[in-house]
Amino acid sequence: MTECAIRHHTAQVESVRLHYVTAGAGEPLVLLHGWPQTWWEWRRIIPALSERYLVIAPDLRGLGDSSCPLAGFDKRTVASDIFKLVHDQLGHSTFHLVGHDWGGVVAYALTHAHQACVRRLSIIDVVVPIGSPDELTWNGRRWHHTFHWQRDLPEALVTGRERAYLSWFYKNLAFNASAITEEDLLEYVRAYSQPGVLRSGFEYYRATHQDIENFNESMKVKLAMPVLAIGGENSRKTQVAENLKLLADDVRECIIDRCGHWVPEEQPEALARALLEFFAESS
């Protein structure tokens, strides 16, 4: 995969300072990361995407090198940050949108609020929380959701042990546990060891009950634009598409073979191909 010039920026979006990177030129394509990650998760697919698009990859509020507010981690509020950055400050009236993990949930919230602005949407290996919290946690089998919901306890237990804690997820939710390298791990640990970032990450989970209430209302109006649902063969599989068919009228499904949850890092070439083919259909 070819190299590209990645440019770093900061923008003040009301009370939040957002760090974001850009690469390439042309029609804008926005990439939203998940937990416990930052914009860095996209580094292996940005070169291919930037050959055709202006790639914009922010650090979500409270994560990476963006600032850490005390509140506002429901996904509608996080989505509003991104819309104000891309639409209001950078001046893009329409754009394509991709989200992975919590970034996928933010992408759904943004798209639902601004359907005329999002040309095509892709959500990667996550389900939008609707129904009840039990459905999101697979009736408790996804233990970390329940743990992260607890107030203050995760911070007390994980602070100073960020490497050990984050590594568990990178290894155990992967098909290829070596996909996230030592260099990558150091970057993620650096980001999540900064003041406020660990707490902010847990707040994304603590906002889930509000998200479910919001999205149970949002799903009454389905998305109209094409949506690409991507699941890792060894992770969410068909769950992404099954979930999105409740939320959108035009859902296409893609399963990435030999891949766990960390799709952009485990199978960057396959993911880049799938996204480029999907977005090219709108040209």
Domain CATH code at residue 222 = 3.40.50.1820
> How far apart are alpha carbons 273 and 229 in whole angstroms?
14
Q: How deeply is 7 buried, as exposed, middle or buried, from its count of CB atoms within 10 A (0-12, 13-18, 19+)?
A: exposed
Q: What is the 3-state secondary structure (H, E, C) of 103-132?
A: HHHHHHHHHHHCCCCEEEEEEECCCCCCCC
Residue 11, number of CB atoms within 10 A of its CB? 18
DSSP SS3 for 87: helix
Number of domains observed in the structure of the chain: 1
Look at residue 71 and tell me if it is in a domain: yes
Look at residue 2 and tell me if it is in a domain: no
Q: Which of 65, 101, 125, 184 is catalytic?
A: 101
Provide the domain limits for residue 25: 7-280
> How far apart are alpha carbons 152 and 121 in whole angstroms?
35
Known active-site residue 87: no
Q: Quick one: tokens of 78?
A: 């996080």
- pLDDT per residue as tens digits for the range 221-279: 999 999 999 999 999 999 999 999 999 999 999 999 999 999 999 999 999 999 999 99
List b or e across 148-167, with b for residues whose CB sees 16 or more CB atoms inside 10 angstroms. bbeeeebeeebeeebeebbb
Q: Which of 53, 165, 188, 205 is catalytic?
A: 205
Question: By the 8 A CB rule, do 2 and 10 touch?
Answer: no
Known active-site residue 250: no
> How far apart are alpha carbons 106 and 204 in whole angstroms?
10
Q: How deeply is 12 buried, as exposed, middle or buried, from its count of CB atoms within 10 A (0-12, 13-18, 19+)?
A: exposed
> How far apart are alpha carbons 38 and 185 in whole angstroms?
11
Quote the pLDDT of residue 1.
40
Quote the pLDDT of residue 132.
84
Known active-site residue 170: no
- Sequence-distant (≥ 6) Cβ neighbours of residue 92 within 8 angstroms: 28, 86
Question: By the 8 A CB rule, do 37 and 58 touch?
Answer: no
Quote the pLDDT of residue 282.
80
Quote the pLDDT of residue 151.
96
Per-residue pLDDT of the chain (283 residues; tens, 9 = 90+): 456 799 999 999 999 999 999 999 999 999 999 999 999 999 999 999 999 999 999 999 999 999 999 999 999 999 999 999 999 999 999 999 999 999 999 999 999 999 999 999 999 999 999 998 776 766 556 899 999 999 999 999 999 999 999 999 999 999 999 999 999 999 999 999 999 999 999 999 999 999 999 999 999 999 999 999 999 999 999 999 999 999 999 999 999 999 999 999 999 999 999 999 999 998 6
Look at residue 89 and tell me if it is in a domain: yes
Question: By the 8 A CB rule, do 106 and 82 touch?
Answer: yes
> How far apart are alpha carbons 113 and 109 in whole angstroms?
6
Look at residue 173 and tell me if it is in a domain: yes
List b or e across 34-66, with b for residues whose CB sees 16 or more CB atoms inside 10 angstroms. bbbbbbbbbbbbbbbbbbbbbbbbbbbbbbbbb
Look at residue 38 and tell me if it is in a domain: yes
* DSSP per position, 35-76: TT--GGGGTTTHHHHHTTEEEEEEPPTTSTTS---SS--SHH
Look at residue 1 and tell me if it is in a domain: no
> How far apart are alpha carbons 36 and 20 in whole angstroms?
17
- End-to-end distance of the chain based on CA atoms, in angstroms? 23
Look at residue 260 and tell me if it is in a domain: yes
Quote the pLDDT of residue 140.
59
> How far apart are alpha carbons 260 and 266 in whole angstroms?
7
Look at residue 190 and tell me if it is in a domain: yes
> How far apart are alpha carbons 242 and 7 in whole angstroms?
37
What's the pTM? 0.97
